[in-house]
Amino acid sequence: MCLRCLHQLPYTEFEKLPGNPVEKIFWGRLVIQNAGSLIYFTKGSAIEKLLHQLKYRGKKDVGFYCGRLMGEAMKMSNRFKEIDGLIPLPLFRKKERQRGFNQARLLCEGISEVLQVPTVLDAVERLEATETQTHKNRVERWLNMQHRFHVANESHLTDKHVLLVDDVITTGATLESCGQEMLRVPGLRLSIFTLAYSSSKNV
């Protein structure tokens, strides 16, 4: 993207704000340290086009580039400085093989380069495929994601402060399900960051 387009993206600046809308999603649902999203997601926006290029056209460089933007934003904030590792929200293995990559992992690679924090792979796995979350309400999304994740390597997470990363957050049901499983690990502290935030469930 050109510098002008980058400047015009609708940045949330949530990374600077305790009690921001992303953190409020998890109030009473998940114990987190900090959370945020970089950019507001709207239909037809530049960020929607970027995500389409990443997820459906295999433009992996877009994921790495967006991850760097996320990393730069967190680096400027004092709220994400004590992170020990980055956890990409896992895809079901078959789906990842079909797509050829996990977009959350690409975001983590970009974040890692900026923050100098390692990406932790294979700590958490997705046990099975799920129905699309599009057109489901908050309760339906939550039910759809129950018991879908498993901690495969507890030692990678014990007594660590980790950042769970995904591309878009809407109701937070998927991240909540994964986070609940991760928080079973002794001493784990959890923060969450996504590329985009949407207040609409139709994404």
| pLDDT value at residue 133 | 47
Do the Cβ atoms of 138 and 58 come closer than 8 Å?
no
User: Who wins on pLDDT, 170 or 98?
Assistant: 170
* Sequence ranges of the domains in the chain: 26-197
User: Who wins on pLDDT, 51 or 195?
Assistant: 195
Do the Cβ atoms of 155 and 183 come closer than 8 Å?
no
Confidence band for 132, pLDDT divided at 50, 70 and 90? low
Query: Which residues, 6+ apart, have CB-to-CB distance to 157 below 8 Å?
Result: 85, 120, 123, 151, 182, 185, 188
Instruction: Calculate helix-pair angle for 138-145, 173-182, nearest 10 degrees.
Output: 40
Q: What CATH topology corresponds to 26-197?
A: Rossmann fold (3.40.50)
Q: Which of 34, 28, 27, 75 is nearest to 164 (CA)?
A: 34
Confidence check: pLDDT of 49 > 60: yes
| pLDDT value at residue 7 | 73
Query: Which residues, 6+ apart, have CB-to-CB distance to 173 below 8 Å?
Result: 133, 138, 141, 142, 144, 145
Q: Which of 56, 51, 72 is nearest to 169 (CA)?
A: 51
Share of the chain above pLDDT 70, in %: 87
What is the bridge-based pairing of β-strands 161-169 and 149-151? unpaired
Do the Cβ atoms of 196 and 166 come closer than 8 Å?
no
- How high does pLDDT run on average in the chain? 88
Confidence band for 174, pLDDT divided at 50, 70 and 90? very high
| pLDDT value at residue 101 | 87
Residue 128 three-state SS: coil
Q: What is the mean pLDDT of residues 50-64?
A: 87
Do the Cβ atoms of 41 and 81 come closer than 8 Å?
no
| pLDDT value at residue 56 | 81
